[in-house]
Structure 1
Amino acid sequence: MPKQEGQKSKLLTLLRILEQKTDEEHLLNVPQLVELLEQQDILAERKSIYSDIDTLRSLGYDIQLRRGRGGGYWLASRTFELSELKLLVDAVQASKVVSARTSSKLIHKLEALCSDYEGTQLQRQVYVDGRPKSDSHTLLYSIDALHSAINAGRMVRFRYKDGGTRTVSPWQLAWENGCYYLIAYQDEKEPAGIRNYRVDRMSSVTVLGDARRGKAEFRQFDLPAYLRKHFNMFGGPEYRVTLRCTADLESAMRDRFGKTPLFVPEEDGAYFHFDVPVCVSPQFYGWVCGFGGKVEVTAPAEVRQGLREIAKKLAEMHQ
């Protein structure tokens, strides 16, 4: 009988072989498993492989056997299905705020969750509108620090894109238009209130010992409503805006504003109108113009005037 070397690690090594070298299309029989173990300086008898596989099964691992010619064992169930890993890889690749280097590291780690053969299918390339990915290498550390501060109820200090330093009370993190945003209460300067900051434009995020503030402001805070009325997360004076749209834009308006607004169809059926709260900014005006005349701001007068002024300026620039 050969000396049973490395028996303490044999079970774990066998599991790793099954994880990395097998899937439904790639099976390993007992002699092949013995050979792969020997390549890692672990001697095993064929009979012991059956016992080891039974032990792994008893621990909850779904190891299946296909009998007959070309048959063998494979790990049938994993934490993530291949389709789920592809979806995660696409999300990482598509995110413009995750740097190329960080994307590569994350995808490499995701590859370890499937077989080597399936891992080659995770080398996918997904681009968003041709925009370059961020070169921020500290994003993951910033997000981790902000989560820690939110969970502990502490304030944070960070340097922002303009070179200035901010000290704020973090309450929530949001994902909007491909970017991470911190939703926080700030009272460093007037007016105090709820603000948002792009996380990929932060650096040197530090969790402070001071208890965060803004509890009263966030007691009734509705994040989905906040995101709907801030276009591209830009702020501005809030108005109750009435929008008149052509009938074919109903699904587009639902995608933007959700189920809450009451869409009122007009008599001819060609238009509908509704009221929504909007933080009016140049980004909101740009959104309205982007529909090429299919969306009209009918109220209030101040917002209509602002749209006229922007349209006049654009017309003068393009004469």
Structure 2
Amino acid sequence: MAKSPNQKLKLLYLMKILQEKTDENHPLTVPQLIEELERYNILPERKSVYDDIEALRIFGLDIENAKGRSGGYYVSSRTFELPELKLLVDSVQASKFITHKKSLELIKKLESFASRYEAQQLQRQVYVTNRIKAMNESIYYNIDAIHSAIAENRQITFKYFEYSIKKERVYKHNGACYHISPLALTWDDENYYMLGYDGAAGMIKHYRVDKMESIEITQTAREGIKEFEAIDMAVYSKKIFSMFGGKEESLKLRFSNELIGVVIDRFGKDVPVEPDGEGHFIVHENVFISPQFFGWLCSFGGKAKILAPEQVKEAFARHVQGVLEEQSR
């Protein structure tokens, strides 16, 4: 039998066919594999296909041979199992900071880890169209640049913006670049944030990664590393509400028993809980006081209360009064 130009690629194409077109419910017989190879202008001998399958097994591809009338060869395990891929697809869909375009691209790439039949199950889960998504396509390059700067122990410069009511970018500092020492990336309230040390202000600040632009890595060594090392990120993230800072206070909070799940979700399962009568419990927790924290408390109505300290109780009362006055105008 004359050899085709693609004959040397036979083993690679056979692996491609097995990975893309077979799974436990869709095996292919050797004649069917030969037919598939012929689509790539490869004319294999039957015996050589058996030899190639064995070579792929030795290489590490998990190929099984299903017996019986509907039997054949198939890839039985892959880098990602189908439930794992479904979980990853759901995570991409739910991620607010991943744009609509990039979500579809990532899901398409995840599908390549499954057979074409299993990929159809992933496609049925794709409901990205009407999700609220970030608008900044450069977020992926921003994340990469920040990671590189941290690894190289270098400061970065970037422009930072907000949106106007016309949905146009309005640059902070009149468009001047920020000079910041990147310390870590964290995900909070569906957004990606960079924790960075502002040398001019002498403090750690937060920056929304999707609102950063024109990131450049400088040759200047990072600052604020000792300050960052003193932070327990697991504890720190519980104190910050929506990455809005403020003064840290040690609070005594009282909640209705029905809110125990909400409190654990916010402060963690290790939060100390003290029963207060039959219907309430008390929590002692350090929190950075901000309007976002007050808004979180307001969402529970009369089922949540600040007991101490007095100055935070008064600040909360002023916050609520200000909201009421604004609404009555």
**What's the TM-score once normalised by structure 2's chain length?**
0.91
Instruction: Tell me the residue number matched to 1:50.
Output: 50
CA distance in 2, matches of 1:47, 1:238: 73
Instruction: Tell me the residue number matched to 2:114.
Output: 114
CA distance in 2, matches of 1:127, 1:298: 43
CA contact (8 A) 1:4 1:44 kept: no
CA deviations on 1:140-196 (whole Å, 9 max, x unpaired) are 1000011111111111111111413211111111111211111111112x3x21111
1:73 aligns with 2:73: yes
Instruction: Tell me the residue number matched to 1:158.
Output: 158
Instruction: List alignment gaps of at least 5 residues for structure 1.
Output: none
Instruction: Tell me the residue number matched to 2:316.
Output: 307
CA distance in 2, matches of 1:148, 1:156: 10
Q: CA deviation at 1:127?
A: 6.2
Instruction: Tell me the residue number matched to 1:184.
Output: 196
1:195 aligns with 2:196: no
1:285 aligns with 2:294: yes
CA distance in 2, matches of 1:228, 1:291: 18
Q: Give the partner amino acid of 2:251.
A: V
Instruction: Tell me the residue number matched to 1:271.
Output: 280
Q: What is the Cα-based RMSD across aligned positions, in Å?
A: 1.7
Q: CA deviation at 1:251?
A: 2.5
CA distance in 2, matches of 1:141, 1:288: 36
After TM superposition, the structure 1 = structure 2 runs for residues 210-221 of structure 1, keeping only pairs within 5 Å, are 210-221=220-231
Q: CA deviation at 1:82?
A: 0.9
CA distance in 2, matches of 1:231, 1:281: 8
Q: CA deviation at 1:317?
A: 3.7
CA distance in 1, matches of 2:127, 2:147: 28
Instruction: Tell me the residue number matched to 2:255.
Output: 245
CA contact (8 A) 1:22 1:28 kept: yes
The DSSP-based 3-state class of the residue aligned with 2:301 is: coil
The DSSP-based 3-state class of the residue aligned with 1:233 is: coil
CA distance in 2, matches of 1:66, 1:15: 17
Q: CA deviation at 1:303?
A: 1.0
The DSSP-based 3-state class of the residue aligned with 1:180 is: strand
Instruction: Tell me the residue number matched to 1:31.
Output: 31
Q: CA deviation at 1:4?
A: 5.8
Residues 212 and 57 (structure 1), Cα distance of their counterparts in 2 relative to 1, 3 Å cut: same
CA distance in 1, matches of 2:261, 2:297: 15
After TM superposition, the structure 1 = structure 2 runs for residues 8-23 of structure 1, keeping only pairs within 5 Å, are 8-23=8-23
CA distance in 1, matches of 2:50, 2:72: 12
CA deviations on 1:203-230 (whole Å, 9 max, x unpaired) are 1111111110012202221112211111
Structure 1 runs (4+) greater than 6 angstroms displaced: none
CA distance in 2, matches of 1:131, 1:287: 23
Q: Give the partner amino acid of 1:177.
A: D
The DSSP-based 3-state class of the residue aligned with 2:305 is: strand
CA distance in 2, matches of 1:208, 1:238: 32
CA distance in 1, matches of 2:18, 2:143: 35
CA contact (8 A) 1:265 1:273 kept: yes
> Between Structure 1 and Structure 2, how many residues are aligned?
315
After TM superposition, the structure 1 = structure 2 runs for residues 222-261 of structure 1, keeping only pairs within 5 Å, are 222-261=232-271
CA distance in 2, matches of 1:74, 1:292: 58
CA distance in 1, matches of 2:127, 2:62: 32
Q: Give the partner amino acid of 2:60.
A: G
Instruction: Tell me the residue number matched to 2:187.
Output: 175
**What's the TM-score once normalised by structure 1's chain length?**
0.94
CA distance in 2, matches of 1:206, 1:289: 41
Residues 131 and 122 (structure 1), Cα distance of their counterparts in 2 relative to 1, 3 Å cut: closer
CA distance in 2, matches of 1:259, 1:89: 28
CA distance in 1, matches of 2:127, 2:245: 31
CA contact (8 A) 1:245 1:296 kept: yes
Q: Give the partner amino acid of 2:100.
A: A
Fraction of identical pairs, as percent: 44
